[in-house]
Amino acid sequence: MASQIFHRGPTKPQMNITPLIDVVFLLIIFFMLVNNIISEQSVQMIVPQLDEPTTRQLLDDQGRIIVNIAPAEFANKERLDNPLLFDGEARFIRVGLQTFASDDLGGVTAALLEARSAFPDAEVVLRSDGALYYGVVQPVMGAITRAGIDTINLAAYMPERGAATVLIGE
Amino acid sequence: MTQQQSQSGPVDTSAANRVGGLADQTVHHRSASRRRGRPKPSMQPNLSAMIDVIFLLLIYFVTTANFTPDEGVLTAKLPQGTGKTTESLSPPQRPLNIVLSPAGEVACRISIQGYPQSPTDFTELAALLVQLQYDPDRGLRSGAFKPDSPVVIKPEAGVRWQHVANAFNAAVRARYTNINFAQVSG
């Protein structure tokens, strides 16, 4: 068929957009997958909102292992207005993409050891809902310690953009 | 391959004309336009509509890609080993203990062990922590704790994590560098 066309005189010039479509498809697939992975790794929760926070942005080029301590499910919107009024018990713990029961601290330690052996430089981020009791969070910090990790990053809301954070006693 | 196709092309056309059917219609169409000397129609499918849709999808996913933008981190040290909360250096330094106990379901009471003041919020706590600091470089001579003295946050089990993170943040704001979390008490 194609050869028939070529045999019959000049044709209208047409841009070959096949490579363009290839690239665009790749980008779409990439963003769909990345979106899924990010939302899988970040359980829905309200991280602590600090008074005059000193939080910093974790750099993207450092790998990160996210430890989520999931709160009770978000049943209604009221939770967003009064996050601390709600149950302080953990629903489950998620390390990376692995989910553990809230009392399976041995599993958390094992998963972290495994993740650290694969990515030795990765930073550990502890995401915990602000409403959870310290009695729930502290054992998880203990489990992280037992995996040989001595520095942890606590997730909290960033200050609003433009608002300067001034350290006291400057 | 191309040569074969070009040779078999006309043969196919005549065969299709003879036999008729669906293939016949398309072939017939083409030959008609050829006879009138019109530019032959392009055999490439029109992809513009598909590209439109794909670009829309692309823009959608690029803009909705949410890499948890409004969250930051506070870097904290964890006690190495299990039961210990402070490093036992020689000579051992007296730790500054920030005690948090629950007040009702939501709120929490803040106090510093050995000091009568009880800050009502974490801004006050940060100010008090600065007062208790000894750092001549910054003109702070009133306090007894150096910036690298151990600070231990001691919340009771029923204190909400939000308050614990807030206390930690207050200690970081007051420029303490050695901040630890205590085991659950009470």
The minimal CB distance from A88 to the residues B3, B55, B160 is found for B160
Architecture of the CATH domain B96-181: 2-Layer Sandwich (3.30)
Question: Does residue B108 or residue A158 have the better pLDDT?
Answer: B108
Residue for token pair 């915990």: A128
Q: In terms of C-beta density within 10 A (0-12 exposed, 13-18 middle, 19 or more buried), how is residue A62 classed?
A: exposed
User: Among residues A150, A137, A51, A53, which one has the least CA distance to residue A88?
Assistant: A137
A75 residue type, one letter: A
Q: Are B149 and B93 in contact (CB under 8 A)?
A: yes
- Asked if the Cβ–Cβ distance from A84 to B106 is below 8 Å, we say yes
Assigned CATH for A12-51+62-159:
3.30.420.270
Q: Give the Cβ contact number of residue A8 at 10 Å.
A: 11
Q: Are B36 and B21 in contact (CB under 8 A)?
A: no
Residue B73 pLDDT > 70, yes or no? yes
What tokens does A154 get?
């606590």
Weakest-pLDDT range from A101-115, B124-138, B152-166:
B124-138
- Asked if the Cβ–Cβ distance from B162 to A88 is below 8 Å, we say no
Q: Are B24 and B42 in contact (CB under 8 A)?
A: no
Greatest Cα-to-Cα distance within chain A, rounded to the nearest angstrom: 84
Mean of the pLDDT values across residues B76-82?
Answer: 63
The minimal CB distance from A169 to the residues B79, B140, B184 is found for B140
Q: Please state the ipTM of this predicted complex.
A: 0.72
Categorize the per-residue pLDDT at A162 as very low, low, confident or very high, splitting at 50, 70 and 90: very low
Tell me how close the Cα of B144 comes to any Cα of chain A, in angstroms: 16
pLDDT at A60: 62
Strand blocks (E) in A96-150:
98-101, 123-128
pLDDT at A39: 66
Q: Show residues of chain B in contact with A135, CB under 8 Å.
A: 156-158, 184
What tokens does B85 get?
């909360």
- Asked if the Cβ–Cβ distance from B67 to A38 is below 8 Å, we say yes
| pTM for this prediction | 0.66
Share of chain A above pLDDT 90, in %: 2
Q: Walk across the sheet containing A98-101 and list its strands.
A: A98-101, A92-95, A64-70, A123-128, A151-157, B71-77
Q: Give the Cβ contact number of residue A93 at 10 Å.
A: 26
B160 in reach of chain A (CB within 8 A): yes
- A25 sits in which H/E element: helix A18-41
Domain boundaries of chain A, sorted by first residue = 12-51+62-159
A104 CB-near residues (< 8 Å, 6+ apart): A93
- Asked if the Cβ–Cβ distance from A132 to B161 is below 8 Å, we say yes
Mean pLDDT of chain A: 78
- Asked if the Cβ–Cβ distance from A138 to B76 is below 8 Å, we say no
pLDDT at A8: 61
B37 in reach of chain A (CB within 8 A): no
Tell me how close the Cα of B46 comes to any Cα of chain A, in angstroms: 11
Categorize the per-residue pLDDT at A152 as very low, low, confident or very high, splitting at 50, 70 and 90: confident
- Asked if the Cβ–Cβ distance from B160 to A7 is below 8 Å, we say no
Mean of the pLDDT values across residues A41-66?
Answer: 76
pLDDT at A131: 87
Residue for token pair 């801004």: B123
A148 CB-near residues (< 8 Å, 6+ apart): A113, A116
Question: Does residue B7 or residue A3 have the better pLDDT?
Answer: A3
> CA angle at residue A127 from A161 to A73, to 5 degrees?
105
pLDDT at B8: 42
Residue A159 pLDDT > 80, yes or no? no
Mean of the pLDDT values across residues A30-52?
Answer: 77
Q: Provide the Cα torsion A39, A55, A130, B166; round to 10°.
A: 170
Phi/psi of residue A133, nearest 5 degrees: -75, 150
Residue A81 pLDDT > 60, yes or no? yes
Q: Show residues of chain A in contact with B72, CB under 8 Å.
A: 53, 55-58, 155-159
* Interatomic CA distance for residues B114 and B92, integer angstroms: 18
Instruction: Report the sign of the C-alpha dihedral through residues B107, A91, A82, A54, in that order.
Output: positive
Q: Give the Cβ contact number of residue A140 at 10 Å.
A: 23
Mean of the pLDDT values across residues A132-136?
Answer: 88
Categorize the per-residue pLDDT at A164 as very low, low, confident or very high, splitting at 50, 70 and 90: very low
Q: Are A53 and B169 in contact (CB under 8 A)?
A: yes
B85 CB-near residues (< 8 Å, 6+ apart): B79, B152, B180, B181, B182, B183
Residues of chain B with CATH 3.30.420.270: 96-181
- Asked if the Cβ–Cβ distance from A84 to B159 is below 8 Å, we say no
- Asked if the Cβ–Cβ distance from A169 to B67 is below 8 Å, we say no
The minimal CB distance from B155 to the residues A21, A134, A144 is found for A134
pLDDT at B186: 52
CA contacts within 13 A on the Cβ side of B94: 8
pLDDT at B9: 42
Question: Can you say how many angstroms the Cα of residue A160 is from the centroid of all Cα atoms in its chain?
Answer: 20
Q: Show residues of chain B in contact with A151, CB under 8 Å.
A: 75-78
B79 in reach of chain A (CB within 8 A): yes
